[in-house]
Amino acid sequence: MTAALPPGHTVVELRRYTLHPGRRDGLIDLFERELLEPQEAAGMTIIGQFRDLDHPDTFTWLRSFPDMPARRRALEAFYGGRVWTAHRDAANATMIDSDDVHLLHGVERLPSLGAPPVPVQPASPARRLAVVVVRPSPVSTALDVQRRLHVPDWDPVLSLTTLRAENDFPRLPVHDHDVAVAVVAATDADAVVDVAGVRSRLGALAGEVSAWRLYPTERSLLR
C-alpha cells in the first residue's frame, strides 16, 4: 500500500451502485473530474474507486470520515453545496440503485493515504483488489467473523465491521444489518476469492458471503 488516510479517521462508507447498462465509465469520468476534490474539501477522504471485473454495470467506492459528527458536517456541506447541485442530475441519471451502502469502522488502524492522483500520464499499474463481505450467522457477530476472516494468497488491506451508530444523514440510507468486510489485494491478474473456502473456514460463524473482484480507477488512492 503506497497511499493513506488522514490521522484519526474512524468511519468508513462502502458504497456499491447498480448502474444503467454502459454508463459506468461516464460516471467514473464525472466523479473523478468534478466530484472528487469537492468531497475532500468538505471534510472526507475518498479512499478508492473501482471497476468490478465481473459486473460491468456497478461502481464500488469507499470514503472515510474522522467520526460521525464530522461525517454529518461533511455530507451536509457537499450535498448541500453548489458542486453537487450542478452535477447531481448527470450522476443520478447513470444509476439504477445507490442504496447498497455499509457504514463501517476499522478493526485495526486504517492505512495512510495521500492526495488523489492526477493522471497526467497513464496511471501506474494497480493491483487487483477484492472486497469480501460476510454477514454473520445468528450465532456470531461481525467481530467474531472478522477475527477469523482470511483469504489465502491475498494481502490484507482493510479490515472493517459494521459501525453501530445512528445514521444522522438519513438522506443517504445505509444497511442496518451487521457485516464483516475484508479488502484484500493480489498481484495475480487472474486471482479470485474462493468464497466456498472462506465460508468453510468460518463454519457456523458465516451467514451470507459475497466477494467482488475490483480494479482501481485512474485516480483511486487505493491501488
88-101 pLDDT, tens digit each: 999 999 999 999 99
- CA dist., res. 204 & res. 3, Å (int): 36
Cell of 181: 468486510
Query: If you average pLDDT over residues 171-182, what whole number do you get?
Result: 96
Range of 27's domain? Answer: 11-216
Q: Which three cell numbers stand for residue 129?
A: 483488489
Total structural domains in the chain? 1
Query: For residue 42, is it within any domain?
Result: yes
**Rounded mean pLDDT, 87-114:** 84
Q: What is the dihedral of CA 85, 55, 112, 126, to 10 degrees?
A: -120
pLDDT tops 70 at residue 111: no
Instruction: Read off the pLDDT of residues 192-212 as tens digits, 9 standing for 90 and up.
Output: 888 888 999 899 999 999 999
Give residue 193's pLDDT.
Answer: 85
Q: What is the pLDDT of residue 110?
A: 44
Return the CATH number at 206. 3.30.70.100
Beta carbons of 29 and 38 less than 8 angstroms apart:
no
The predicted model gives 36-62 an average pLDDT of: 97
Tell if the pTM clears 0.85, that is, is over it. Answer: yes
Check pLDDT > 70 for residue 138.
yes
DSSP reduced 3-state for 104: strand
In this model, does residue 79 exceed pLDDT 60? yes
Contact assessment for residue 193 and residue 131, using Cβ atoms and an 8 Å cutoff: no
Contact predicate 85/124, CB 8 Å: no
**Residue matched to cell numbers 458465516:** 206
Q: Shortest CA distance to 214 belongs to which of 202, 205, 222, 206? A: 222
* pLDDT at residue 10 tops 50: yes
Residues above pLDDT 90, as percent of the chain: 70
Model pLDDT, residue 60: 98
The mean of the pLDDT values for the chain is 89
Tell me: pLDDT of 151 over 90: no
What is the average per-residue pLDDT within 129-152? 91
Concatenated DSSP letters of 15-35: EEEEE-TT-HHHHHHHIIIII
Q: Is 3 contained in some domain?
A: no
Q: Which three cell numbers stand for residue 35?
A: 466530484
Q: Is the pLDDT of residue 162 over 60?
A: yes
The answer as to whether 155 is a domain residue is yes
Considering the domain boundaries, does residue 94 fall inside one?
yes
Residue 83 phi, psi dihedral angles, 5° rounding: -65, -50
- Report yes or no on 2 lying in a domain: no
- For residues 162-184, average pLDDT: 96
Structural domain includes residue 6: no
> Which span out of 78-87, 130-139, 199-208 was modeled with the highest average pLDDT?
78-87
